């Protein structure tokens, strides 16, 4: 059964969502990250995905106070990303309460350093975040597209790499559904990798498509904030026998 991770994106300590990774297309919601995390916990979710968008854009963690607040008030496992590039960044996030960290840009620009993070902290605590436009991986908070292909990036960290989040930037926040073919191909090509799908989720049917494609985890964000999917319905569906 596919695991659902409700998402929180943070800018300036506020819950926001972007459309297609464009910082000029930001929607802000009248709820704090702590309040949103508490709602997720009260609905029965045990894990959430949180992105420090300020950190992603600036290349260093910014919203650590939000992470501390979420971790201090809830009992959730927090997957945290955004600007994680150094050991100090990882240590700070883990000390602030993150269960695991997500690295993207550093994996593209300094593969050896990223691999050393996996070796040092473990494959369960360091996740590869691969944000893609077409087949190429984007960096610097989605603002730049590299020449590195997604499959080549994943392959370069095997064996050792365990967890990969793939976000389809063109679909993110658009409710158009995931590229099931892409994720089906990834699951077949890299059976040793635990993939999390992100981008385009607008209905429970979209989640079912990923489950049928063999993807073990999915991130659901804007659809919850825009009431495309009701949190109560998602919680009931995710807890089905």
Active site residues: 9, 131
SS3 179: coil
SS3 113: helix
SS3 50: strand
Return the bridge partners of 10, or none. Answer: 15, 52
CB count within 10 Å of CB 225 equals 23
Separation CA 67–CA 15 (nearest Å): 12
By CB atoms closer than 10 A (0-12, 13-18, 19+), residue 166 is buried
Structure tokens at 71: 């971790």
The bridge status of strand 22-28 relative to strand 47-52 is: unpaired
Q: How far apart are the first and last CA of the chain?
A: 9
CB count within 10 Å of CB 232 equals 10
Separation CA 57–CA 67 (nearest Å): 17
The bridge status of strand 163-168 relative to strand 126-133 is: parallel
């Amino acid at each position: 059964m596919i695991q659902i991770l409700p998402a929180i994106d943070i800018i300036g300590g506020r819950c926001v969502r972007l459309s297609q990774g464009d910082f000029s297309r930001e929607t802000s919601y009248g709820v704090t990250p702590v309040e949103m995390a508490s709602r997720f916990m009260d609905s029965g979710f045990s894990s959430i995905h949180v992105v420090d968008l300020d950190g992603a854009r600036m290349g260093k963690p910014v919203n650590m106070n939000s992470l501390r607040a979420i971790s201090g008030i809830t009992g959730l496992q927090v997957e945290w990303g955004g600007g994680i590039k150094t050991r100090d960044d990882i240590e700070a996030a883990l000390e602030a309460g993150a269960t695991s960290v997500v690295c993207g840009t550093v994996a593209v620009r300094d593969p050896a350093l990223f691999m050393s993070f996996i070796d040092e902290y473990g494959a369960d605590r360091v996740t590869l975040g691969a944000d893609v436009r077409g087949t190429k991986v984007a960096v610097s908070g989605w603002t730049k597209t590299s020449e590195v292909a997604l499959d080549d990036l994943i392959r370069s960290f095997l064996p050792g790499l365990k967890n990969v989040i793939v976000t389809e930037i063109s679909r993110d926040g658009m409710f158009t559904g995931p590229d099931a073919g892409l994720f089906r191909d990834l699951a077949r090509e890299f059976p040793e990798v635990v993939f999390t799908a992100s981008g385009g989720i607008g209905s429970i049917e979209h989640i079912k498509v990923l489950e049928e494609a063999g993807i073990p985890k999915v991130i659901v964000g804007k659809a919850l904030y825009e009431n495309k999917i009701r949190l109560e319905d998602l919680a009931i569906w995710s807890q089905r026998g």
